[in-house]
Structure 1
Amino acid sequence: MIISRQVTAYHHARFKAAAQEFGRVDILSLANQGKFAEILSQQSEEGYTLQRLFPDMDSYRRAAAEGAVASEVTCQLDRLNPDVVAIAGWASAESYSALIWAIKRARGVVILSDSQAHDAKRNKVRDLIKGRIVRLCGAGLVAGRTHRDYLVKLGLPAERIRLGYDAVDNAHFAGGALTARKSEPECRARLNLPENYILASARFIPKKNLTSLLTGYARARQGLVAAPDLLIAGDGEQRLVLEAAARSLGIPGHVHLPGFFRYEDMPAVYGLSQGFVHVSLSEQWGLVVNEAAACGLPMILSRECGAASELLHEDRNGWSVEAENVDGLAVALRAMMSLSKEQRAEMGAISKSIVADWGPERFARELAHVASLAEASRNGRISLVDRVIIRLLSRKVIETVA
C-alpha cells in the first residue's frame, strides 16, 4: 500500500506503473485537494485501487487535530492488510499512523522522500526526531543522490535506499510536445502563445525567485535585436509584484503571465518554447524540470534545485547557476537566447535521453526493490520514547516539509 496526501497527475503515472510492476497496488489518499487544482489527477485508477478518506484539506486538518486521521488510516490498513506500507515522508498524521500500524503487525515500511540537507536551515533537535522515525523504516525510495545522502545522515543505511521517487509521465509530455510542433501555428493561436519565448513554470511565491529571473532576463536581452520573450506559467501571491517588476525593468511587453495551463496543454506550452528556466532559491526536486526535459528542451537550473544534480549535464543540455547570482543567470539566459535551432534540438535531445531513465517505470522498479528489502527487515518493536514522539506529532498538520 502507498499512502499519499493527494493524487496528482504525477502520482497517477507512478501508481499506474507500480500496478503494472506489482500486479496490484492499493492507494490511500487523505485529501482530494492540492495547492492548485490544475495538477490534481482527473484520470480514473488504472490497475490500482484508490480510497480517498477526506474531501478537502479543511476536513483533513480537522480530522488530524481530533485524532481521526489515525483511526481512519488504521481502519483501512486493517481492512486491506498489506504486507508493505510506503509512507510519504516523516511529517504527516497518516505516515505516523501507518508506521505504528506496520510495526505493531511486523509489516515492512518504505519511506518515500525528496528532502535534502540544504533545503532549509536544519535544527539538531528536529533532525534527531526525524532520525528516530527514519530508523523505524526498513528501506527508502528517494529522488536522487543528494536526497539519499540526507536519508543516510538521518540513519537509514545507503544499501537500503534506491533512487527514482520523483517521476512524471514522460510519454505524455514528449508526445504532446511533438504533436504541438507538428501543428505549431494552430497550437500557438489556441493557447495564445508568443511567437518566440523562453519558459518558466512555477507558483508565484518568494522561494521560486521569479523577481531575480525577471532581472536576469532584462539584462540578458539588452542589445539583442530579436530576443525571445519570457513566459511564466503559473500564478500566486506575487503576481502584482512581478507585474510591477516587469514595468520597472522596462520589459512589460516581453513578459507574459498567462496563469496556469491545463495539464493536457502543458506539453504544447513546453514544446513550442525555446528553452526552460527554473532558478528557485530552494527546491526539493522540481517536477517541472522532468517535464521540460521530456519535452526536449535546453534548461537553466539553479544549483539549489534537487533535480539539477541528476537531470542537468553542464554545457550539454543546459547550464546551472547560483540562484541569487543574477549576473550569472543573465549570462546563462544570453547563452540560451543565442542558440541556433540546431543547437537547441541537440541539447533538447540530450535532455530527453537523460530523463528517459527517470520515468514512472523506474519508480515502479525501484519501489519493488525497496519493498522486498523492507519486507525482509520487518521491525516488530517500537520504544516507548518513539511511541510518545509519534503520538504527539500525529495531530499536527505540516504542509511545508523539508
Structure 2
Amino acid sequence: MSLKLAYFVTHPIQYQAPLLRRVAALPGLDFKVFFGSDFSARAFVDPDFGRAIQWDVPLLDGYAHEVLDQWGAPLAANEIPTVWRPFSKGLAQKLRAGKFDALWIHGYNRASHWVAAATAKMLGIKVLMRDESTEISAERSAVKQIVKQVFFTSIDKVVDRWLTIGDLNAAYYRGFGIAPHKLIPVPYAVDNAYFQSKIAALSPQREVLRASLGLEPGRPIILFAAKLIDRKQPLPLLGAFAELVHDDDARKPYLLYAGDGPQRGALEKTIALSGLGESVKVLGFKGQADLAALYDLCDIFVLPSEREAWGLVVNEAMNAGRAIVCSDRIGAAPDLVVPGLNGHIYPFGNDTALTAALRDCLVDPERLAAMGQASLDRINQWSFDQDLDGLCRALRETTGVEIRP
C-alpha cells in the first residue's frame, strides 16, 4: 500500500518542477500537486522585469497535477499572487476523496494555505509546511513581530513538521518558538544535474560566446544575473566595479548584467556617461538555458541585493564552478558561501568592501579557479538528494510509513 502525499502551491515555479518530478518517482509514494493558478505556465507579465516572459523549461511535465478553481476571477497575465489571490476552492473535497495521508504546503503567508492547513488537520491529514522567510528577508516593525509571534503560535498547532530551506530559515522558526524536533532540513536546491550537464555541453562554445559578446580573450568576467530593480542593487555594483577598471592587479575585468527591469534605462545611461561601455554590457532577460552559458563564461558571480530570502541564482552559478561574491543580506550565504574558500560575503551597502571582495578574487587566477572548484564541491552536497532525504524523514516521522529516496 502506497503513501498518498498532496502538494499545494500557488502556481507552477520553474525551480520546483524538477524536484516535483523526483518526488513523483519515489517508490511507494502516490503524489499529486494542486495549483492555485497556472498563470506562470504560460506567457505572463512580471512587473519587476517590466515585460512578458515565458519560462524555457517544462513546468508541468512528469508529475500528476490539477489546477484548482478559484474564488473570483482567475489571475490575469500581469497579476502576481497576493495574500488573498488566488484563493482556491475545492481542495478539501480533493483531499477527502483522494484519501491523502499528508499535505505538503509551500508558503504560509496565503489565506488559502491557512485554510488548507486547518482543513487537512480536521481531516486527520498530516501537514508539512515549507517557506523561505528569514530574519533578513523583509523589514519588520516591532508590532509586526508581535503579530508574527501570535501567528506562529497559532499555525504551529496544525503543522506537524516545518521543512527548512537553510540555517537562517530554521533559526527564524526557532525564534518564534517552533520546537527543534519539528524542523527538518529540505534545503533550497536547484536541478544540479540539469545545470551541470547543460554547462558541460556548452563549455566547448565558451570562446564563441565570448566573441559574440565582443569580449577580449583572457579578461576575467563578473556576472550579475537578477532583475534590474533597486532591491538587487545593480547601480551600486556598477560604482564598485568602476574602481577595478584601472586596477592592473584586477586584470581588466568585464561586468555583465543579465536581467531586465525598471532600472535598465538608468543603468545603461550611467554606463554611457561613465565611459565604462567597453567593460560593461547589459544583456537583458535570459532564460535558464541562456543563463547556463553565462555561468560557464563568467569567473565570478555577484549578488549584491539588499535582501534575498534565498537567492537560487547562487546555487546555479556554483554548479558552473564559479566563485561567489554576495552581500550579507542573501539568505543562501551562510549555507553556501565560505569566505575565502569559494568567495566572499561583504556587508550590504559597503561598496568599498564589495570592490575589495571582487578584487581579492581577481588578483590570483589560480586561487580564483580553486574558489570555483570549492563552489562546485559544496553545491554537490546541497541538492535534490538532500531534499528527498528530508521529505522522506518528515513523512516517516509523521505517518510512520517508510519511504526510501
Q: Same fold (TM over 0.5)?
A: yes
Compute the displacement of 1:66 (Å): 9.0
The aligned counterpart of 1:345 is 369
| Aligned residue identity for 1:126 | V
- Return the match for 2:322 from 297, 308, 322: 297
State how far apart, in whole Å, the 2-side matches of 1:282 and 1:53 are: 32
Alpha carbons of structure 1 residues 67 and 317: separation in structure 2 relative to 1, 3 Å? closer
Unaligned runs of 5+ in 1: 377-402
Aligned pair count reads 373
Aligned-residue identity in percent? 24
Contact kept in structure 2, 1:164 and 1:358, CA below 8 Å: no
Compute the displacement of 1:44 (Å): 4.5
| Aligned residue identity for 1:10 | Y
Mapped pair 1:11 → 2:27: no
1:220-369 aligned at under 5 Å gives the runs 220-224=244-248, 226-340=251-365, 342-369=366-393
CA displacement 1:198-243 (0-9 Å, x = unmatched): 1111011111111111111111223338512111111111111212
1:3-402 aligned at under 5 Å gives the runs 3-21=8-26, 23-34=29-40, 35=46, 37-39=53-55, 41-46=57-62, 48-53=63-68, 57-58=75-76, 69-122=87-140, 123-131=144-152, 132-188=154-210, 192=213, 194-195=215-216, 196=219, 197-224=221-248, 226-340=251-365, 342-375=366-399
State how far apart, in whole Å, the 1-side matches of 2:178 and 2:115 are: 20
The TM-score normalised by the length of structure 1 is: 0.85
Secondary structure of the 1:21 match is coil
State how far apart, in whole Å, the 2-side matches of 1:91 and 1:338 are: 45
| Aligned residue identity for 1:222 | H
Compute the displacement of 1:165 (Å): 3.4
State how far apart, in whole Å, the 2-side matches of 1:103 and 1:246 are: 56
Secondary structure of the 1:9 match is coil
Higher alpha-carbon deviation: 159-168 or 99-108: 159-168
Unaligned runs of 5+ in 2: 1-5, 41-45, 401-405
State how far apart, in whole Å, the 2-side matches of 1:68 and 1:172 are: 31
Alpha carbons of structure 1 residues 177 and 64: separation in structure 2 relative to 1, 3 Å? closer
| Aligned residue identity for 2:182 | R
| Bigger relative contact order (CA 8 A; separation at least 6) | 1
Contact kept in structure 2, 1:316 and 1:347, CA below 8 Å: yes
State how far apart, in whole Å, the 2-side matches of 1:330 and 1:213 are: 9
Secondary structure of the 1:253 match is coil
Contact kept in structure 2, 1:138 and 1:375, CA below 8 Å: no
Compute the displacement of 1:89 (Å): 2.1
Secondary structure of the 2:121 match is helix
Alpha carbons of structure 1 residues 202 and 134: separation in structure 2 relative to 1, 3 Å? farther
The TM-score normalised by the length of structure 2 is: 0.84
State how far apart, in whole Å, the 1-side matches of 2:38 and 2:66 are: 10
Contact kept in structure 1, 2:12 and 2:59, CA below 8 Å: no
Which structure carries more helix by proportion? 1
The aligned counterpart of 2:3 is none
Secondary structure of the 2:39 match is coil
Secondary structure of the 1:242 match is helix
CA RMSD of aligned residues (A): 2.7
Alpha carbons of structure 1 residues 59 and 349: separation in structure 2 relative to 1, 3 Å? closer
